Chain A
Amino acid sequence: MGRASSLTPSRLLLLGALLACGVVAPLLFPAYQSQLTELLIFIVFALAWDLVGGQMGYNSFGNVLFVGLGMYVSAIVQVGLFYDVGLYTEAKGGGTEFVFDADQFLAGLAFGLPAAALISALAAWLLGSLVLSMRGHYFAICTLGLGIAAGQVAAGIPWIGAGSGMLTPNPPADLGDVGLLLYYLALGLAVTCMLTFAWLLSTRFGLALNAIRDDEDKAEAMGLNTHAAKVTAWVIAAAFLGMAGAIYGNVVRFIDPVETAFAGATIGAWMILMALLGGKGTLLGPIVGAIVFQLTKELFLTFLLGWQRVALGVLIVAVAVFFPSGIVGFVNDRLRTRERAGEQGP
């Protein structure tokens, strides 16, 4: 694990190159802009899941709780700063009375995104003490339950649109390409996430998380404050999930409580899938997993219409069977065996 997260000079160069690619990509391929944005958001989802799941061993099935929370909080702030949210949702986002000009729209984002991260983090902190004292399957179930319950509760609150969902503010026409703005926000978030996690995992905190995963009782016995570590990790993950969710909400515009915000069966399951696909417990794993997943999903959709889910399912099964430690895990193992073979002398 130390190898994958250390920032050697060659690594830095590689990262710099990737960053440059990331910056120019939407300009070179404007047609794929929203897909690239989505990819970046999913990378954040997968990384955040892996922090608590892969690195710490607490597999959450309900991270979608924070995604949806962030989505709604941002939408509420973006609208609520200028209009009454209740009236807005009642009019179902009526375009003629509820107009946002450029300043209002940008201000909305500027306050909405951090608010999303903050509230998600707060929620994680409050729930953490309850839920993080459970282990293994029980933790998974509790988070699953919370995720599902959240979707139902959101669908029952008329203030945020209940079952009809909520629309994020209409980007004003004079603001230019808002999609591009959202892309760069997503890129910024993804890069921040990667760097933050890389740094975190190289510190003692990272070791603490791994210790908790490997044997929590021993770690506790050795004097580690496991509770504090667990809550901290979850809060950090929640903050990123919340902000990513907020950006996503602005990309898809229409927030449906059960289908989009707290979409356990899709986003919730996918973030786990992507991390597993790429390799749990590695820094590159979730990133690779997200890229592979999104790419194949899109390719299958274009070329295998009508069979795309079958193909995707078969791919997932194949990866699970043949690459149990994920793609990155597989590559790491190979490199390690080669290294060991090389060390054995001439």
Chain B
Amino acid sequence: MIANLLILFEAPALGLQLLIDGILIGAVFALAAYGMALVWGVTNIVNVCQGEFVMLGGLVTVLCAEQGVPPLLAVPLAAAALYALGWILFQTVIVHLLGRDMFNSVLATFGIAIVMQQLMARGFGGADRIAESGLGSWFFFDGLVGIAKIKLVVFAACITLGVALALFLARSRQGQAIRATAQSPRAAEVLGIETRKVYGLTYALNAAICGVAGGLASMAYTVHPYSGLSYTIRSFMIVVVAGLGNLAGVVWAALGLGVAESFAGFILGPQYQIAFVFALLVAVLVTRNWRLKAKRRYLK
């Protein structure tokens, strides 16, 4: 561990590389977490099949790429496909879960996740897949720091989508309908908003966001029908740490998570990377809670 710290001191440019890598992987999680936060905040449903949506988006992208479609163009295709899937799932399953307690949706979406995993494996085969983006990398500091351009695309997509969604929610009528429904479904109904449609839109939108995340992830990393769980868990963590309802916070928390993992992996070694980060998360929550306790309140 000390040796690793020394390396960082000797070559600070590597620290920059770790920071950049962390932000970039955080961006992918940010997308997935953003979608989960949206669905959770508006419909009070915890979407446990989030990771599977991401993987499916990735696999669709890879499939298109293998058929000759440039991968970057394939991403919007994946998003559209996932949007459709999200809409279908909403109409068949999710619509029944509205208004029930959180655990009900956890159970149902877990069931969906299992179904999706096996269907994806049957449909796409059980191999790890990667799509070639065809973009190269930029290098700085005499080659010591490299940024794969595709990862920058991911980051840019994350920011753009984040901003676009924020604007959408704030300005457009649909967006306002979503926010109104989130605040008070009954009042929204009274005011003539078709809450069911809003819920459906939100859920399908989340699926599309995951599709984008997955498509981008398939170019920067690998995708596999059974690898969705890590995305689901991290999204869940990020959303809770950011605080429900705090969409902007989700992006920061996600990026922070990515950077923490990156540095932890370097200094402590990859085998403790995940443990460290999760322990950190726990520590953050415990401290926050403890400080609130002093005021005789608690984290809500």
Contact = CB atoms under 8 A, between A and B. Distances in A.
B205 to A, nearest CB: 22
A138 interface: yes
A270 to B, nearest CB: 10
A297 to B, nearest CB: 11
A236 B186 CA distance: 42
A56 B277 CA distance: 29
B34 interface: no
A141 B100 contact: no
A313 B89 CA distance: 14
A131 B271 CA distance: 25
A269 B117 CA distance: 16
B188 interface: no
A315 B104 CA distance: 14
Interface string B102-122: 011111101111111111001
A324 B100 contact: yes
B241 A316 contact: no
Given A134-B299, A149-B279, A324-B104, A317 B237 contact: no
Contact of A134 (B96, B97, B289): B289
A142 B289 CA distance: 12
A321 B279 contact: no
Contacts of B276: 149
A133 B105 CA distance: 25
A205 B271 CA distance: 42
Given A152-B272, A156-B271, A280-B103, A317 B285 contact: no
Q: Which of B100, B116, B117, B279 has the most CB of A within 10 A?
A: B279
Interface in B269-299: 271-276, 278-279, 281-282, 285-286, 289-290, 293, 298-299
Q: Which of A131, A134, A155, A318 has the most CB of B within 10 A?
A: A134
B267 interface: no
Q: Which of B108, B122, B293 has the most CB of A within 10 A?
A: B108
Nearest to A317: B111
Contact of B281 (A136, A141, A312): A141
Decide if the interface of chain A is mainly helix, strand, loop or mixed: helix
Contacts, number: 127
A155 B274 CA distance: 11
Contact of A153 (B104, B240, B275, B285): B275
Contacts of B110: 269, 273, 316
Given A148-B233, A269-B110, A313 B118 contact: yes
Contacts of B116: 313
Given A134-B286, A265-B229, A155 B271 contact: yes
Contacts of A146: 278, 282
Interface residues of A, number: 45
Interface string A118-138: 000000000000110111111
Nearest to B272: A156
B107 A137 contact: no
B274 A273 contact: no
Contacts of B112: 313, 317
A141 B241 contact: yes
A145 B107 contact: no
B240 A309 contact: no
A321 B93 contact: yes
Interface in B247-273: 271-273
Interface residues of B, number: 46
A1 interface: no
Contacts of B271: 152, 155-156, 163
Q: Which of A269, A307, A321 has the most CB of B within 10 A?
A: A321
A269 B51 CA distance: 15
Nearest to A216: B298
A320 B111 contact: yes
B300 A135 contact: yes
B236 interface: yes
Q: Which of A149, A265, A272, A314 has the most CB of B within 10 A?
A: A149
Interface string A228-266: 000000000000000000000000000000000000010
A186 interface: no
A318 B272 CA distance: 39
Contact of B286 (A131, A144, A276, A317): A131
A169 B106 CA distance: 38
B236 A145 contact: no
A310 interface: yes
A321 B89 CA distance: 13
A171 to B, nearest CB: 32
Contacts of B114: 309-310, 312-313, 316
B244 interface: yes
Given A149-B278, A156-B272, A276-B103, A144 B111 contact: no
Interface string A150-162: 1011011000000
A314 B111 contact: yes
Contacts of B229: 265
Interface string B63-99: 0000000000000000000000000000001001100
Interface of A: 59, 130-131, 133-138, 140-142, 144-146, 148-150, 152-153, 155-156, 163, 265, 269, 272-273, 276-277, 280, 306-307, 309-310, 312-321, 324
Given A272-B106, A320-B108, 12 more contacts: A138-B289, A144-B236, A145-B278, A149-B274, A149-B275, A153-B275, A163-B271, A276-B103, A307-B118, A309-B117, A321-B96, A321-B108
For the complex of A and B, the 10 pairs showing the least CB-CB separation, nearest first, are A316-B111, A313-B115, A313-B114, A152-B275, A320-B108, A317-B111, A145-B278, A149-B275, A309-B118, A320-B107
22 contacts: A134-B298, A135-B299, A136-B300, A138-B240, A142-B285, A142-B286, A144-B233, A144-B278, A145-B281, A149-B282, A152-B272, A156-B272, A276-B103, A276-B104, A276-B107, A307-B118, A313-B112, A313-B113, A316-B108, A316-B110, A317-B112, A321-B97
